[in-house]
Structure 1
Amino acid sequence: MNRSRDEVLQAVREQMPEQRWAHTEGVMQCAVELANRYGGDPVKADIAALLHDVAKYWPTEKMERIIVEQKLPSELLSHDKSLWHAPVGAFVAEYEFGITDVEILDAIRYHTSGREKMTLLDRIVCLADYIEPGRNFPGVDHIRALAEKNLDEALVAGFDSTIQFLLEKKRRIFPLTVIARNSLLASLERTSSDSKA
């Protein structure tokens, strides 16, 4: 990181409305709590959460240009624009803020979609984004309750809520989200069968 945490915090805060900044603060707090609970790195969780929405309010034309110019996954362009800020945010974190830690960059990159075989930090930041205190959507309290006991079960419930929402709205589901959910379920099934062995 080529700036102090306070400088990064101020720069990120200036790029979003106050309500979104309150969300970012909630994700930071939640990510650190989850890292401490599940053996993650609270410092990395804090930085990834701080930067996870850095590009959220950028004009879509600017995000599209970065996706094309930086050769980010082109399938993003045929899916919901709300996905774009995550990979663009990872690019911004690296090239504007000097983040070189691949774990942090990936946690930013995949916080909306998930991916197969998510790292612990991926899962922490993604789940924190779902359950931070300001979130209020059907089922969020159930996901928060699961997060007290099992990180992966909570994240599957989060993906389920996203998929259900998209199905109800008749919107396309980004393939990585289905892959992420299936990967987590497979991991949970392995853990369950190992504990019975």
Structure 2
Amino acid sequence: MKKIAIFGGTFDPIHTDHVNIIKACKYNLDFDEIWVLPAYVNPFKTVSTSSVSQRLEMIDLAVKHLDYVKVKKFEIRKTVRSYTYDTILHYIKNYPNFDFSFIMGSDQLDSFEKWDHFENLIKLIKFKVFIRDCNHINNKIIEKYNLETFEFDNNYLSSTKIRNLKELNLQIKTVNDYINNSLLYLYERLETKMDEERYFHSLNVGQEALKIAHLNNYDLQKALIAGTLHDIAKRWSEQETIEIISQYDKTLLSEPKPVWHSFAGAFHLKRDWLFNDKEIINAVFKHTVGDREMSTLDMIVFCADKVSSERTYQGVDKLRTLVYKDLKLGFIALLKNQYDLSIKTHGIENIGKKLIDAYNFWVREELKSE
């Protein structure tokens, strides 16, 4: 009789420890197959922060090379909340010659007796419990129902940690790249670091960058990502900002404080999000005052930040139209505007070398050519 382990969960997102439990089921517990069963919505949660298709794509990436894993869509394709009891009944009825067990983490034990139709469920299928946290195990439940417990290669990860940018170095790289490139869990990752006004500005800049990218036949997703994340460190404390800039390049602290967030944001994406796309990182780095070397994406994000839909300063409509018509000329006009405003507000001695250098390279050269 084929031994099947049913591994249910929200998997929002799937992570390394989920995969390590799957491998333990195969190689330590001798299951023939592991059926990964993502839930539409966990009955004890009120919302899922990624879509059904996104969670399925992440699971596929995580188990891509494990031929003994099958992803079952019985629950996730439903339009109502799913209950384990209904699912187990379905599989036992449709596969009477299979020996099923249900895999669960020890973190679920506290709510175990609250599961729907629990008294029938506990008689219906064997439960295998993997120890997630050695310091918190509900031994009372384990003893009461004589549950088997198992250890595995435990990194003590959780989906909550991943959504909140914690211990991403332990996460599956392909899944982490997918999350970054899809801008998943954006609100969770920014809510404690960014006020509402800045958050919606960031979303607007992402959409503006998307529009400008379309007009210039540039990669739409890259533009959306870089635009959306350009101000990711804007509301950081001065101490946090100095710490991360010092880690990478202390000389940047000689630039004016109002532009530090662009450097900190780029380093934050590299260090904490584990972004490996240099174009996106560079666009965030250069979005405040520009640079001698400006790629198409650099110009897109620089311009999108300054002409995004909520901007209402005098002359913005004319500048926005120019950007749409000619990205390079729009960038030069906006750089000149930034330079003039900075000198008027702070004085030329306080605007920083980077803005002066970018202005001399782009604006003065353009004026000479005229």
Bucket of the pairwise TM-score, normalised by the shorter protein: 0.7 to 0.9
Deviations 1:9-42 (CA, angstroms, capped at 9, x unpaired): 5413442111111110110000011111012111
Partner-residue secondary structure (3-state), 1:177: helix
Q: Which has the higher strand share?
A: 2
Q: Which has the higher helix share?
A: 1
Alpha-carbon distance in 1 for matches of 2:288, 2:332: 13
Alpha-carbon distance in 2 for matches of 1:31, 1:113: 17
Give me the TM-score of the superposition, normalised by structure 2: 0.48
Give me the TM-score of the superposition, normalised by structure 1: 0.86
The equivalent of 2:194 in structure 1 is 16
The answer to whether structure 1 residue 85 and structure 2 residue 268 are counterparts is no
Is 2:265–2:284's contact at 8 Å kept on the other side of the alignment? yes
The answer to whether structure 1 residue 137 and structure 2 residue 280 are counterparts is no
Deviations 1:14-71 (CA, angstroms, capped at 9, x unpaired): 4211111111011000001111101211111111112111111110111112222x23
Alpha-carbon distance in 2 for matches of 1:99, 1:8: 14
The equivalent of 1:104 in structure 2 is 280
The equivalent of 1:72 in structure 2 is 249
The equivalent of 2:71 in structure 1 is none
Aligned-pair CA distance for 1:135: 1.3
Alpha-carbon distance in 2 for matches of 1:24, 1:79: 23
Distance 1:189 1:81, change over 3 A: closer
Aligned-pair CA distance for 1:180: 2.4
The equivalent of 1:125 in structure 2 is 301
178-187 or 88-97, which moves further after superposition? Answer: 178-187
The one-letter amino acid paired with 1:18 is: E
The one-letter amino acid paired with 2:209 is: A
Is 1:110–1:122's contact at 8 Å kept on the other side of the alignment? yes
167-176 or 84-93, which moves further after superposition? Answer: 167-176
Superposition RMSD in Å: 2.2
Select which of 234, 240, 252 maps to 1:56. 234
Select which of 178, 195, 204 maps to 1:26. 204
Partner-residue secondary structure (3-state), 1:148: helix
The equivalent of 1:113 in structure 2 is 289
Distance 1:138 1:157, change over 3 A: same
Gaps of at least 5 residues in structure 2 are 1-175
Alpha-carbon distance in 2 for matches of 1:13, 1:179: 35
The equivalent of 2:337 in structure 1 is 161
Alpha-carbon distance in 1 for matches of 2:290, 2:304: 13
Alpha-carbon distance in 1 for matches of 2:334, 2:263: 20
Distance 1:13 1:121, change over 3 A: farther
Please tell me whether Structure 1 or Structure 2 has the larger radius of gyration of its CA atoms: 2
Question: Once the two structures are aligned, what percentage of the paired residues are identical?
Answer: 31
Alpha-carbon distance in 1 for matches of 2:321, 2:209: 15
Distance 1:9 1:102, change over 3 A: farther
Alpha-carbon distance in 2 for matches of 1:187, 1:2: 39
Alpha-carbon distance in 2 for matches of 1:167, 1:189: 19
Alpha-carbon distance in 2 for matches of 1:37, 1:188: 23
Distance 1:44 1:186, change over 3 A: farther
The equivalent of 1:147 in structure 2 is 323
Is 1:2–1:97's contact at 8 Å kept on the other side of the alignment? no
Is 1:152–1:184's contact at 8 Å kept on the other side of the alignment? no
Instruction: Select the structure with the greater relative contact order (CA < 8 A; seq sep ≥ 6).
Output: 1
Partner-residue secondary structure (3-state), 2:221: helix
